[in-house]
Amino acid sequence: MASSPLLTRISHPFSSLYPTKITPFYWATEQSFKFPSTPFNFVKHLSSNDNPTIFHNFNFDSFYANLIDNSSHKINITQVHAKLLLLGIQQNGFLVSKLVNAAVNLGEISYARKVFDKFPDPDVFLWNAIIRGYSKYNLFASAVEMYSRMQVLWVSPDGYTLPHVLKACGGIPSFRMGQQVHGQIFRLGFEKDVFVQNGVVAFYAKCGKIASAKVVFDRLEIRNVVSWTSMISGYAHNGQPIEALRFFDEMRSTGVMPDWIALVSVIRAHTDVEDLEHGKSIHSCVIKMGLELEPDLLIALTAMYAKCGQVMVARSFFNLVKLPNLILWNAMISGYAKNGYAEEAVKLFRDMISHNIKTDSITARSAVLACAQVGSFDLARWMDNYISKSEHKDDVFVNSALIDMFAKCGNVDMARMVFNRTLDKDVVVWSSMIVGYGLHGRGREALDLYQLMKQSGVSPNAVTFLGLLTACNHSGLVEDGWQLFHCMKDYGIEPRHQHYSCLVDLLGRSGYLDQAYDFIMNMPIEPGVSVWGALLSACKIHRHVTLGEYAAERLFSLESYNTGHYVQLSNLYASARMWDRVTKIRVLMREKGLSKDLGYSLIEINGKLEAFRVGDKSHPRSKEIFEELESLERRLKQAGFVPDRNSSLHDLNEEEMEETLCNHSERLAIAFGLISTAQGTTLRITKNLRACINCHSATKLISKLVNREIIVRDANRFHHFKDGVCSCGDYW
């Protein structure tokens, strides 16, 4: 190649778009694009005007359009543009439109806008290019703004303009603007253009106007995969998964093959209805189509398997993504938290924030939910500290979750602190605090808070009343509970099964068994398992065998293979010392292949949970634990404690009974806590079953003997033992 200057200065109105020094075009193109040498030798001659005949016959549009189409970097575009300026053909609308589209495709939207703004009289193709660019990169407000400017300048849109504008209107969303565009579509005669009408369907669906989307869809003479996908996605994202699945089946019956976008929405619909079996069939379809590594499908599959309880499968998909986005993190953490894998959820959340990945409200709520399930007060305080330093500190949903977390971790006073600092208290915040008081048996405080709630102008909902009834139930406030139940209708709230069962439990535990039975028989809805279960539990407390047997019969007819019902009836017989009937129940359970859940207790020591079962001697410090247990038993006897024989559910002699009772899991947990913590430290214990009468009485006295507060969360509620007294007032 002949030598030539390496740098050329240009002076032109467009020069502000480029560096003042530009590499000569023929050198740049030969190095960057690597075309055959002939064209570049030809360009040299063009530049020097040595061959005017060839210059006259040269097709500039085709040549430079080819260069623009093959641009892979911004510098390529700027060099081509510079050459157009030097040749004086910078007002070629075709080539400038090509430049804008190329810049958009390379993600250089700001450069595309500068090129657009320098063009004196853009035609519809140039307007389409810039509007498409803004819409492609979700800069919807800018897309709508450019469309408005286009209208002011009397440039009529075409079939390529309108879909991008509709996408922008749906993305903002701006329903009014979208409706105006829809009206213009009719005026311009695009009502039969499938491309444009698909945009209309998608717009209405994104704005939640799925019925309007369906009207447009039904009028389409030709329906392609985009048409069907718009409707399927619309139904799936607007809380109508069944309709989404119905449309998917109809689409397949017409012979239209789904694309990955449709499959994402179908998987989401199966996730919402928790239909794992059919969701797996869609997964098979994804594999057959070779789309298993499509990012959005990975997210959808992770969410589906996580929500449906297959967290290990979900995690395998999660691990396939090198850089998981926020949606994927949320799907996995939420899946763990909602399926009993609380510790894994917390671990993944810690991993997420350690990588400085920005969380959102959903992430925070899922992590708080997991902490509540773990039940560790130390972990709860860590989570509260994290939230207080994050952007979620004023999020009403996160604060509601924090209130619930502290209540479930045994500290209702900390829950109240979160409640007090929450600025905008909606019904969820008030209800969370009332439920927390109910869980801890602080009935009067729950009722006082309810009065404050009404004074603040917040109307209660079904959850509020469930919390209030639970609080009354755990505090023996029969009259208050009865009145609250009957005032639900004043707020237009129809009682659900949980409300009925809570009132039956309240009446039954207080000894009003006949009234509880009459209440059940007059219910406007068919009594369910929770209602009959509450009556059977009350019959066990008051040893009402006949009524208890009737409740058990109703339970067996509803759930014949639920182990808990048989255990409840067996406990009733055992409390009445009817050992022959206890034996019959055990034989019946063996015949049905049922086995009783083993009781266990957890205690938190220095942020770590230790588990114990009845008579458990597997712990490394087992010798010390049982020595402490023997010491406690001696001190209990010296203080006048007498074991409650009715706590034993087996026909045992006196010595065997006493040994069995003192080896219950919570007693072992207490002994371990005493030898593992400093004097005065509060012991926090979680038990998976309801506390027995004997252990409850013993724990009260132990709290006084060792001068400790002992907090026990059993299957029903919290018990705060201190100075020989329990917060439940011996009513649970």
> pLDDT > 90: what percent of the chain?
67
Predicted confidence (pLDDT) per residue in 398-428, tens digit: 999 999 999 999 999 999 999 999 998 999 9
Max distance between CA atoms of the chain, in angstroms, equals 121
- Which of 72, 96, 73 is CA-nearest to residue 14? 96
Query: Can you give the pLDDT at residue 711?
Result: 93
Query: Can you give the pLDDT at residue 479?
Result: 96
d(CA 660, CA 291): 59
Predicted confidence (pLDDT) per residue in 550-571, tens digit: 999 999 999 999 998 998 999 8
In the predicted structure, residue 630 carries a pLDDT above the cut 50? yes
* Per-residue pLDDT band at 118 (split at 50, 70, 90): confident
In degrees and rounded to multiples of 5, residue 334 shows phi and psi of -65, -40
In the predicted structure, residue 575 carries a pLDDT above the cut 50? yes
In the predicted structure, residue 324 carries a pLDDT above the cut 70? yes
Predicted confidence (pLDDT) per residue in 191-245, tens digit: 889 999 999 999 999 999 999 999 999 999 899 999 999 999 999 999 999 999 9
d(CA 335, CA 303): 7
d(CA 143, CA 604): 57
How many other C-beta atoms are found inside a 10 Å radius of the C-beta of residue 58? 15
Cβ contact 96:115 at 8 Å: yes
d(CA 668, CA 661): 11
In the predicted structure, residue 509 carries a pLDDT above the cut 50? yes
* Per-residue pLDDT band at 58 (split at 50, 70, 90): low
Query: Can you give the pLDDT at residue 334?
Result: 94
Cβ contact 203:172 at 8 Å: no
In the predicted structure, residue 10 carries a pLDDT above the cut 70? no
Between CA 373 and CA 379, with CA 376 as vertex, the angle to 5 degrees is 100
d(CA 91, CA 93): 6
Query: Can you give the pLDDT at residue 24?
Result: 39
How many other C-beta atoms are found inside a 10 Å radius of the C-beta of residue 624? 15
- Which of 396, 430, 397 is CA-nearest to residue 416? 430
Query: Can you give the pLDDT at residue 53?
Result: 47
- For residue 628, the 8-state DSSP code is H
d(CA 475, CA 523): 24
Identify residue 408 by its one-letter amino acid code: K
d(CA 545, CA 549): 6
Predicted confidence (pLDDT) per residue in 70-98, tens digit: 888 888 888 888 888 887 776 788 888 98
- Cα dihedral across residues 139, 141, 145, 148: positive or negative: positive
* Per-residue pLDDT band at 28 (split at 50, 70, 90): very low
Residue in the block written with tokens 């000894």? 511
How close are the terminal C-alpha atoms of the chain, in Å? Answer: 97
In the predicted structure, residue 48 carries a pLDDT above the cut 50? no
Task: Report the DSSP beta bridge partners of residue 8.
Answer: 22
* Per-residue pLDDT band at 166 (split at 50, 70, 90): very high
In the predicted structure, residue 303 carries a pLDDT above the cut 50? yes
d(CA 5, CA 23): 9
Query: Can you give the pLDDT at residue 644?
Result: 67
* Per-residue pLDDT band at 646 (split at 50, 70, 90): low
3-state secondary structure 258-299: CCHHHHHHHHHHHHHCCCHHHHHHHHHHHHHCCCCCCHHHHH
Identify residue 243 by its one-letter amino acid code: E
Query: Can you give the pLDDT at residue 293?
Result: 87
In the predicted structure, residue 480 carries a pLDDT above the cut 50? yes
d(CA 731, CA 428): 28
Query: Can you give the pLDDT at residue 384?
Result: 97
- Give the SS3 label for residue 641: coil
In degrees and rounded to multiples of 5, residue 718 shows phi and psi of -100, 145
H or E element, residue 197: helix 194-206
Domain ranges of the chain: 62-220, 600-726
Residue 596 neighbours by CB under 8 Å, 6+ apart:
563, 567, 589
d(CA 605, CA 313): 33
Predicted confidence (pLDDT) per residue in 332-366, tens digit: 999 999 998 999 999 999 999 999 999 999 999 99
- Cα dist from 724 to 703, 727, 729, whole Å: 6, 10, 11
Query: Can you give the pLDDT at residue 732?
Result: 67
In the predicted structure, residue 157 carries a pLDDT above the cut 60? yes
452-461: long-range contacts (C-beta < 8 A, 24 or more apart)?
456/425, 458/425, 458/426, 458/427, 458/430, 459/427, 459/491, 460/427, 460/430, 460/431, 460/491, 460/493, 461/427, 461/431, 461/491, 461/493
In the predicted structure, residue 655 carries a pLDDT above the cut 60? no
Fold of 62-220: 1.25.40
In degrees and rounded to multiples of 5, residue 618 shows phi and psi of -90, -10
In the predicted structure, residue 13 carries a pLDDT above the cut 70? no
Give the mean pLDDT of 650-671.
Answer: 63
d(CA 32, CA 515): 91
- Cα dihedral across residues 450, 452, 455, 458: positive or negative: negative
H or E element, residue 604: strand 600-605
Identify residue 215 by its one-letter amino acid code: V
Sheet containing strand 725-726, edge to edge, reads 608-613, 600-605, 683-687, 710-713, 718-722, 725-726
Cβ contact 169:177 at 8 Å: yes
Give the mean pLDDT of 272-279.
Answer: 94
Query: Can you give the pLDDT at residue 42?
Result: 34
d(CA 84, CA 108): 19
Query: Can you give the pLDDT at residue 337?
Result: 94
Query: Can you give the pLDDT at residue 645?
Result: 61
